[in-house]
Amino acid sequence: MIMPTAEELHVTPVATPAAMQAERVPDPCIIVIFGASGDLTKRKLLPALYHLEQAGLLPDKISVVGVARRPLQDTFANDMKEGIIAGGGVDESDPKLAPFVGKIQYHAMNFDDPSGYDALNTLLGQIDQKNGTCGNRLFYLAVAPEYFSDIIKFLGQHGMSKPCEPTEGRTPWVRVIIEKPFGHDLESARALNDEVNKVFDEDQIFRIDHYLGKETVQNILVFRFANGIFENSWNRNYIDHVEITAAESIGIEGRGPFYETAGALRDVVQNHVMELLSFVAMEPPVSFEAAAVRAEKVKVWKAVSPIHPADTVRGQYGPGTVDGQHVVGYRQEDRVHPRSQTETYAALRLEIENWRWAGVPFYIRAGKRLAKRVTEITIQFKLPPLLLFKDHEGEAAEGIKPNLISMRIQPDEGISLRFGAKVPGAGMNISPVNMDFSYAEAFGKSSANGYERLLLDAMLGDATLFAHRDGVEATWALMTPILQAWAKDPVKDFPNYAAGTWGPPAADALLESENRKWRKL
Ligand SMILES: NC(=O)C1=CN([C@@H]2O[C@H](COP(=O)(O)OP(=O)(O)OC[C@H]3O[C@@H](n4cnc5c(N)ncnc54)[C@H](OP(=O)(O)O)[C@@H]3O)[C@@H](O)[C@H]2O)C=CC1
Ligand SMILES: O=C1O[C@H](COP(=O)(O)O)[C@@H](O)[C@H](O)[C@H]1O
Break the chain into its structural domains and give their ranges. 25-179, 214-448+470-512
The ipTM assigned to this model is 0.97
Nearest CA owner, ligand 2 atom 4: 268
Q: If you average pLDDT over residues 45-71, what whole number do you get?
A: 93
Q: Which residues are catalytic?
A: 272
Probe residue for ligand 2, chosen from 178, 182, 248 as the CB with the greatest number of ligand atoms within 8 Å: 248
3-state secondary structure of 477: helix
CA pair distance 214, 297, nearest whole angstrom? 17
Supply the pTM of this predicted model.
0.91
The ligand 1 atom nearest the CA atom of 109: 31
The ligand 2 atom nearest the CA atom of 449: 8
CA pair distance 341, 314, nearest whole angstrom? 10
Q: For position 395, what pLDDT does the model report?
A: 53
Ligand nearest to the CA of 213: 2
Q: For position 449, what pLDDT does the model report?
A: 72
- Ligand 1 pocket by Cβ (under 6 Å): 35-40, 68-70, 110-112, 142-145, 179-181
Q: If you average pLDDT over residues 21-41, what whole number do you get?
A: 87
83 — pLDDT class (breaks 50, 70, 90): confident
Q: For position 297, what pLDDT does the model report?
A: 97
* CA 309 / ligand 1 centre spacing (Å): 33
Q: For position 392, what pLDDT does the model report?
A: 60
234 — pLDDT class (breaks 50, 70, 90): very high
Asked if the model's pLDDT at residue 478 lies above 80, the reply is yes
180 is in an annotated binding site: yes
27 is in an annotated binding site: no
Superfamily classification of domain 25-179: NAD(P)-binding Rossmann-like Domain (3.40.50.720)
Predicted confidence (pLDDT) per residue in 411-440, tens digit: 989 999 999 998 898 888 888 999 999 999
* CA 151 / ligand 1 centre spacing (Å): 13
Name the residue with higher pLDDT: 425 or 87.
425
Residue among 318, 371, 312, 366 nearest 496 (CA) = 318
Alpha helices per DSSP H over 165-310: 186-199, 215-225, 256-262, 264, 274-281, 290-303
368 is in an annotated binding site: yes
CATH architecture entry for 214-448+470-512: 2-Layer Sandwich (3.30)
* CA 334 / ligand 2 centre spacing (Å): 19
15 — pLDDT class (breaks 50, 70, 90): very low
Ligand nearest to the CA of 410: 2
Please enumerate in sequence order all residues whose Cβ is within 8 A of that of 255, keeping only pairs 6 or more positions apart, or say none: none
What average pLDDT does the structure give for the chain?
Answer: 91
